[in-house]
Amino acid sequence: MATMTDVARHAGVSVATVSHVLNDTRPVRPHTRQAVLDAIEELGYTPNTLARSLVTSRTRSIGLAVSAISNPYFTEILQGVEAAALEHGYSLLIADPHDDPAHERKVVQLLHERRVEGLIVAPSARPRELLTYLGRHRVPAVFLDRLVDDPAGDGGPRFDQVCAESTGPTSRLVTHLAGLGHRRIALVAGLPGLSTTAERITGYRHGLAAAGLPYDERILVHGDSRSEGAERATAALLALGSRPTALVTANNAMTIGALRALRAHGLSVPEDIALCCFDDFAWADLFSPRLTAVAQPSRDIGARAVRVLLDRLAEPDRPARTERLPCAFVHRTSCGCQDEPEQPARSEDPEPTEKGPLS
């Protein structure tokens, strides 16, 4: 097995120079750096990561804490995080907080104790313990997807945050259904306390107002971001004396639950009830009918979170920022429209927006 000394001899440099190339501890002239990298490749040298971390106090690792990793949306985010981390020479440690505030704090502590250089977290609906831990230990962190509104309590976010736009795209789904003649449009919303839930409810109400439709609290139900919850919530909607003619589901898991409830009641989409959903997923166009949806830029969200975290590591004192990435409206047939070639249209600006505190 090749050693650092072997690499230095092969490249014609000192062992210290090899160390500087590996650890980025001092500038090295480009041709010298390349000679070292070539020697490493030719000899098959594998650096001792543990030993390097003891010397440099850097582990080149990032912790990722997201719930429901099996959910296709978070799976794609994970792929984006992993690809961006590897591109910048970082490894990834992953934990599932299970949307439980106490467990969330525990897994974040475990990741921190493994000396990750920073954390990317999709916070729970009640992240008080998480915020306390991160603040007390001054852990560099980026909140992903689910944002924390003004955690510092002073009008600005304490942590960097990355998510997709939610309000405008949800409004777009509602106004699209209203444009097809629907007047009772229901929403199956997510878990109360999540920023995504609040923003999609706001978008739903904005869409109703834009279409000149009244808000009826009886047809806004919570599926708690899960398939089982959405199935129960949809069944409750169908039991109303004047049931909705159209349905918006606020994430992909709840879309599955809603479809189960509709099937159990013998209802067809879109003949008996129209359906639009927030979150596109790989097999959405394989359903019959094909699902009209808002597609989030999942992988881009993950990759952007890594870049924001690396910016934070490079400049620990820079002001915290919130970035929102645009979604796409994917027009298919579950809304009741005729089938047409799929041409996703951006619902917001093509570039991510950078903001201070959430409004």
Domains in the chain (CATH in brackets) are: 4-56 (1.10.260.40), 59-359 (3.40.50.2300)
Distances from the Cα of 86 to the Cαs of 89, 111, 291, 334, in angstroms?
Answer: 5, 18, 34, 39
pTM: 0.78
Name the amino acid, one letter, at 235.
Answer: A
Stretch 95-100: mean pLDDT: 90
Q: State the pLDDT at residue 141.
A: 96
- pLDDT per residue as tens digits for the range 160-186: 999 999 999 999 999 999 999 999 999
Q: Tell the burial category of 224 from Cβ atoms under 10 Å away from its Cβ (0-12, 13-18, 19+).
A: buried
- pLDDT per residue as tens digits for the range 135-146: 989 999 999 998
Q: Which residues pair with 324 in a beta bridge?
A: 163, 353
Intra-chain end-to-end CA distance of the chain, in Å:
57
Q: State the pLDDT at residue 54.
A: 46
- The whole-angstrom distance between residue 331's C-alpha and the CA centroid of its chain comes to 22
**Alpha carbons 159 and 308: distance in angstroms, whole number:** 11
Q: Which residues pair with 246 in a beta bridge?
A: 185, 274
Stretch 100-116: mean pLDDT: 92
The answer, yes or no, to whether residue 7 has pLDDT greater than 60, is yes
Q: Who's near 318: CB < 8 A, 6+ residues apart?
A: 311, 312
Q: Strands of 91-95's sheet, edge to edge?
A: 91-95, 61-65, 118-121, 141-144, 160-164, 322-325, 353-355
**Alpha carbons 37 and 15: distance in angstroms, whole number:** 13
Burial letters for 68-91: b for 16+ Cβ neighbours within 10 Å, e otherwise? beebbbbbbbbebbbebbeeeebe
Structural tokens at position 233: 């919530």
- pLDDT per residue as tens digits for the range 39-92: 888 887 776 654 554 454 567 899 999 987 667 888 899 999 999 999 998 999
**Strand (E) or helix (H) holding 118:** strand 118-121
**Alpha carbons 213 and 230: distance in angstroms, whole number:** 24
Distances from the Cα of 279 to the Cαs of 42, 74, 256, in angstroms?
Answer: 47, 11, 11
How confident is residue 147, by pLDDT bands cut at 50, 70 and 90? confident
Q: State the pLDDT at residue 51.
A: 52
Q: State the pLDDT at residue 91.
A: 93
71: helix, strand or coil: coil
Candidates 197, 297, 171, 202; CA nearest to 250 is: 197
Q: State the pLDDT at residue 169.
A: 97
The answer, yes or no, to whether residue 255 has pLDDT greater than 60, is yes
How confident is residue 345, by pLDDT bands cut at 50, 70 and 90? very low
More reliable by pLDDT, 127 or 153: 127
Q: pLDDT above 70 covers what percent of the chain? A: 87
Contact 86, 70 (CB under 8 A): no
Considering just the CA atoms, what is the radius of gyration of the chain in Å? 24
For the ranges 235-244, 269-278, 336-345, the lowest mean pLDDT is seen at: 336-345
Q: State the pLDDT at residue 73.
A: 85
Q: State the pLDDT at residue 57.
A: 54
The answer, yes or no, to whether residue 35 has pLDDT greater than 50, is yes
Q: Which residues pair with 292 in a beta bridge?
A: 276
Candidates 334, 333, 329; CA nearest to 172 is: 329
Computed over every residue of the chain, the mean pLDDT equals 87
The answer, yes or no, to whether residue 349 has pLDDT greater than 60, is no
For helices 101-113 and 128-137, give the axis angle rounded to 10 degrees: 20
The answer, yes or no, to whether residue 346 has pLDDT greater than 60, is no
